[in-house]
Amino acid sequence: MKNIIYAISLCLLFSNVSSQDFSLPYTFSGTPDFSVLIKDYDLQANDEIRVLDDKVVEYAYDNKGSLYEYLYIHVVNYVNSEEAIDRNNKIYVSLSEANQLVAYDCRVVSSSKEIKLLGKDALKEGTNDDGEKVHYFAVSGAEKGSFIEYFYLIKRTANISGNFFVFQREIPVAKSIFKIISPKNLVFITKSYNGYTELQTDTSLKDKNYLYAECSNIKRIEKEDFANEDANKMMVIFQLDYNTSSNKRKYFNYGLACQNIFENISAAPSSKAKKEIETILKKSNIAYARDEENKIFKIEDYVKKTFNFIDNPNEQLSNLDYILKFKAYNASGGIKLFYHLLETAGIENEIVLTSNRYDVRFDADFESWLFLNEYLFYFPKLQKFLMPKATAYRIGIIPYGYINNNGLFIRKVKVGDIYTGVGKVKFIPPNTADHTQHIMIINAKINSTMDSVNVNLKQTYTGYYAQSYQPYFDYIATDKIKTFEQEIINSMFKDITIKTLNIENKGGENLMINPLVIKSDFSSGNLIEKANDKILLKFGDLIGPQSELYQEHERVFPVENDFNRNYSREIHFTIPEGYFIKNPESLIIVSQPFLNEGDGSGFVSSYKLEGNELTVNISEYYRQISFPIEDYEKCRSIINAAANFNKIVLVLEKNN
């Protein structure tokens, strides 16, 4: 998308307007009294507060009439513990080689209002853990009760096709300000999310468009399980809406995006590339495919095992001839390669662009190119998706960040003598719970010396659970496979002695075709304890560790699952001769709070005793991705029902 956006933006980046400086002052005030802004906070409960978070984006023309943008960041942090001071001893600045640092400063204001100016030397250069160059303010002289204040002003390439800022963080924010300033001819559109104030027009700047919002007392983000924290934070999305100089509205509309994206992807390949594409189709053995879905699978499996995906925007990696020669592609190159393979094979497809719902949800009611940052294919006849860059996935399963979200679906249409792309925003549905299952059939028996439990276990994984293992067998060295297989079992059961282990349907060629089946025999002394003449059997541990959901603070976010799924467990236990189970009723756990509301999620365990044979059946299911915050306690009861089963200890006593 970036190359396409750049090409379309060129017509906007020139004007006869003279060069402009940043419109607002960017110096520290004399002796500030920041304590006024935090007077209502419990300073014992909050060791760090973002007192002020002021962001300004200003678009302006340089002396050649080209558009650029200023980014101004002004922050004041209150620190009231050694830990908070340590967290703020390095404050990173968003600076790259493409950015010009115009101005910056940093100072520390003590609780007694003494000011320590850190000056220009406070800005340091270093490298991060990835070896990348970084810039940061080295803060010194802060003590408990201090305010650390800094600002920086950057001049950089203008982003007018869609951007967003997040205003909520892990510490409370006393006051947040956001401003967008632009030349009179460039009108921006914005939308605020998750409770942030909508931007309003401010007329205080002459001959400028000026949008302003202020939001106070923003609650801090608490870590919450089964929640989509980032996408639920307060944020603002903004982009250019129209240019009054050309009287053209909605420059960045989806109609234009569809045309340009389709033309870029479908551009006729060279004669050499055409031959290579036909060769790939032959090598992928599509002639032996049993149906169209299997044909797509064979193409995808061959490409993903033969070509390398490289997460790099290098233009060569999106050039079809280069891709075919060097067997490597990036995200935009992958969509081109797969498109021409699918078209040559005569397979109907639609190109889909979407966002990762864990970053920014695709808002169907706000037309923005910000959401068009990941490529998928959709096959209308099959109603299934494929993601070229996701090398460990196959048709029918894509990374779950892109399901349960909207997307722009682009289909090929013929207009006169040419083909073009026409798009529509549609929902990318999650797979049903039956798509992703973990099935366990367990046979357990205490050994003859009554100090260990022998377990025969068959596990069947499908969907996302199979995807976690199957494709990776293709990349593991032969001498490491046994260790990898044992780690799968050991991730569920600690300190066991594995006697036999057999895994069926390994490798990416089985994903979404054959389930991953793991058969094992092992023994464990940790499952059993003796208390005088009683035997304590840690029966719940037979299903492996379970998530537990507790909340020390008031729940903030709705419940959101990664994907729908089913768990099925069937446990057979042979009671030792001369013993009986004293507490079998503990095996009955039922939590189905949504039974009369579509039964979106639930947990049910039951048992049956026939002689000395105990059979336990457990069904745990999650058929719905999202639940409103009002349903949090219901969801918690289901998750904790599984955790409670995990804690069950059966008491075996001798018969009289």
Judged against a pLDDT cut of 90, whether residue 330 lies above it is answered with yes
* φ, ψ at 478 (rounded to 5°): -55, -40
Q: Read off the pLDDT of residues 24-58 as tens digits, 9 standing for 90 and up.
A: 988 898 889 999 999 999 998 899 999 999 999 99
pLDDT at 3: 52
Q: What is the mean pLDDT of residues 430-450?
A: 97
Judged against a pLDDT cut of 70, whether residue 8 lies above it is answered with no
pLDDT at 222: 87
pLDDT at 181: 98
Instruction: State how far the alpha carbon of 437 is from the alpha carbons of 433, 467, 563, 622, in Å.
Output: 7, 11, 11, 10
Sheet of 613-622, strand order? 497-504, 516-524, 453-461, 437-446, 565-574, 613-622, 601-610, 589-591
pLDDT at 130: 76
3-state SS assignment for residue 576? coil
- CA gap 192, 596 in Å, rounded: 35
Burial 221-257 (b: 16+ CB within 10 A, else e): beebebbbbebbbbbbbbbbbbbeeeeeeebbebeeb
Tokens of 640: 């904790």
Looking at per-residue pLDDT, the higher value among 93 and 193 belongs to 193
Q: What is the mean pLDDT of residues 207-232?
A: 95
* φ, ψ at 340 (rounded to 5°): -70, -30
Q: Read off the pLDDT of residues 503-554 as tens digits, 9 standing for 90 and up.
A: 999 999 999 999 999 999 999 999 999 998 899 999 999 999 999 988 778 8
Tokens of 387: 């993601």
pLDDT at 127: 85
Q: What is the mean pLDDT of residues 220-237?
A: 95
pLDDT at 233: 97
Pick the CATH number of 433-654 from 3.30.479.30, 2.60.120.1130, 3.40.50.1470, 3.20.20.140: 2.60.120.1130
Give the Cα-Cα-Cα angle 267, 268, 273 (nearest 5 degrees): 120
Q: Read off the pLDDT of residues 273-294 as tens digits, 9 standing for 90 and up.
A: 999 999 999 999 999 999 999 9
Cβ-contact 517, 529 below 8 angstroms: no
Judged against a pLDDT cut of 90, whether residue 99 lies above it is answered with no
Classified by CATH at the fold level, domain 255-428 comes out as: C8orf32 fold (3.10.620)
Q: What percent of the chain has pLDDT over 90?
A: 87
Judged against a pLDDT cut of 70, whether residue 251 lies above it is answered with yes
pLDDT at 131: 76
Tokens of 428: 């990318």
Contacts of residue 205, defined as CB under 8 A and 6 or more positions apart, other chains included, come to 23, 181
Short-list 238, 461, 257, 218, CA closest to 351: 257
pLDDT at 462: 98
Judged against a pLDDT cut of 60, whether residue 6 lies above it is answered with no
Judging by DSSP bridges, how do beta strands 173-183 and 48-61 pair with one another?
A: parallel
Judging by DSSP bridges, how do beta strands 173-183 and 186-193 pair with one another?
A: unpaired
- CA gap 61, 18 in Å, rounded: 7
Q: What is the mean pLDDT of residues 338-353?
A: 98
3-state SS assignment for residue 516? strand
pLDDT at 270: 97
Classified by CATH at the fold level, domain 11-249 comes out as: Immunoglobulin-like (2.60.40)
- CA gap 423, 259 in Å, rounded: 9
pLDDT at 119: 86
Contacts of residue 590, defined as CB under 8 A and 6 or more positions apart, other chains included, come to 603, 604, 605, 641
Cβ-contact 41, 172 below 8 angstroms: yes
pLDDT at 656: 78
Q: Which residue in the block uniquely carries the two structure tokens 């006169």?
A: 416
Judged against a pLDDT cut of 60, whether residue 15 lies above it is answered with no
Domain ranges of the chain: 11-249, 255-428, 433-654
Instruction: State how far the alpha carbon of 438 is from the alpha carbons of 369, 441, 515, 604, in Å.
Output: 38, 10, 10, 15
Q: Read off the pLDDT of residues 236-249 as tens digits, 9 standing for 90 and up.
A: 999 999 998 887 77
* φ, ψ at 411 (rounded to 5°): -115, 155
Judged against a pLDDT cut of 60, whether residue 2 lies above it is answered with no
- CA gap 195, 192 in Å, rounded: 7
Short-list 229, 230, 224, 249, CA closest to 239: 249
Q: Read off the pLDDT of residues 379-393 as tens digits, 9 standing for 90 and up.
A: 999 999 999 999 999
CA dihedral 501, 504, 507, 509 (to 10 degrees): 180
Q: What percent of the chain has pLDDT over 70?
A: 96
Q: Is 395 exposed, middle or buried (0-12, 13-18, 19+ CB in 10 A)?
A: buried
Judged against a pLDDT cut of 90, whether residue 253 lies above it is answered with yes
pLDDT at 94: 79
